[in-house]
């Protein structure tokens, strides 16, 4: 299958070379890989120049806007890259939003293509994602609800991408897309036999930090409109996972700030579907826990 990958990067010099090297060692190369340099002020641009000879890599450099825009900024950059191929998008079968701080197996793209070929209703997939602890010593799997796909590496069947209306330009885009796909009858989820490593742990970006990351998550939860009790469970879970009560506190601030500001939310139909999905997820987790306890 023909793959178009778009990678927005901003000050990723510390990890981007590893990501590029992993791509160059793939069994199945992408047909085009557009790397969008979103106004980086580190050595990202110089690093990209070292790989300008690779025929499937195209680099687009944007002006520095002077500040970071979590969620919206990365999707604006994604679409800047997408616009380069929009007039020939029919040439591709798979569209990918792909971060610049990832390490992944040589057979990743091969397995992704294979999975799409085997299931015609597969709409959005990605690898099982792991990331290191803040001190870089311990790898742990990123926990997400059943059927969801982590934002750093996502692959969309072209038809699914069109049906969901592409990606929304705000934080939460990587949850909204899978719910919309499920509402339209597409299958989604991570492949448990394909692993990738997120080289920069969530919330450790110097421009974001734990506080902004928590507030952003709370805002996203309010925007998507799931059940409040489910959000509270996530608050508790993330606090334990991050070993800090501050994470949960910041999430609550983000949620209630958005609620009192009466900020926009997803449609009533979307919110109703998401709440049902969350109930099913909880039942799935309880059954999984029970079966492990029994064994």
d(CA 277, CA 60): 38
d(CA 264, CA 212): 19
pTM, to two decimals: 0.91
pLDDT at residue number 91: 93
32-38 and 102-104 beta bridge pairing: unpaired
pLDDT of 65 higher than 90 = no
Instruction: Give the domain-ending residue among 163, 198, 233.
Output: 198
H or E element that contains 102 = strand 102-104
Residue pLDDT, tens place only, 4-40 = 999 999 999 999 999 999 999 999 999 999 999 999 9
> Is the same domain home to 254 and 154?
no
CATH number for the domain harbouring residue 86: 3.90.550.10
Residue pLDDT, tens place only, 153-188 = 999 999 999 999 999 999 999 999 999 999 999 999
Q: How many domains does the chain have?
A: 2
> Is the same domain home to 152 and 228?
no
pLDDT of 295 higher than 70 = no
CA-wise closest residue to 171 among 228, 213, 200:
213
pLDDT at residue number 136: 60
Instruction: Give the domain-ending residue among 137, 172, 198.
Output: 198
> Is the same domain home to 74 and 182?
yes
Domain ranges, residue 61? 3-198
The mean pLDDT of 127-147, rounded to a whole number, is 78
Q: Considering just the CA atoms, what is the radius of gyration of the chain in Å?
A: 19
Residue pLDDT, tens place only, 84-132 = 999 999 899 999 999 999 999 999 999 999 999 999 999 999 999 998 7
CA-wise closest residue to 96 among 116, 69, 70:
116
């Amino acid at each position: 299958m023909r793959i178009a990958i778009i990678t927005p990067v901003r000050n990723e010099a510390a990890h981007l070379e590893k990501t590029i090297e992993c791509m160059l060692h793939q069994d199945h190369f992408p047909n085009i890989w557009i790397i969008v340099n979103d106004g980086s002020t580190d050595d990202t641009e110089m690093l990209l120049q070292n790989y300008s000879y690779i025929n499937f890599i195209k680099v687009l450099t944007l002006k520095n806007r002077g500040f970071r825009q979590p969620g919206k900024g990365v999707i604006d950059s994604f679409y800047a890259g997408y616009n380069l191929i929009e007039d020939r998008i029919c040439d591709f079968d798979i569209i990918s939003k792909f971060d610049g701080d990832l390490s992944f197996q040589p057979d990743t793209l091969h397995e992704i293509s294979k999975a799409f070929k085997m299931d015609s209703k597969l709409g959005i997939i990605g690898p099982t994602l792991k990331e290191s602890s803040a001190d870089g010593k311990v790898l742990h799997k990123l926990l997400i609800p059943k059927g969801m796909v982590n934002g750093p590496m996502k692959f969309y069947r072209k038809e699914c991408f069109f049906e969901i209306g592409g990606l929304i330009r705000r934080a939460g885009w990587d949850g909204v897309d899978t719910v919309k796909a499920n509402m339209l009858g597409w299958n989604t989820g991570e492949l448990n036999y394909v692993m990738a490593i997120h080289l920069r742990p969530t919330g450790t970006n110097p421009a974001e930090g734990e506080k902004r990351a928590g507030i952003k998550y709370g805002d996203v939860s309010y925007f998507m409109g799931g059940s409040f009790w489910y959000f509270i469970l996530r608050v508790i879970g993330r606090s334990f996972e991050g070993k800090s009560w501050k994470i949960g506190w910041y999430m609550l601030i983000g949620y209630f700030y958005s609620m009192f500001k009466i900020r926009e939310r997803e449609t009533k139909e979307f919110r109703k579907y998401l709440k049902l999905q969350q109930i099913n997820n909880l039942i799935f987790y309880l059954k999984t826990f029970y079966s492990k306890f029994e064994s």
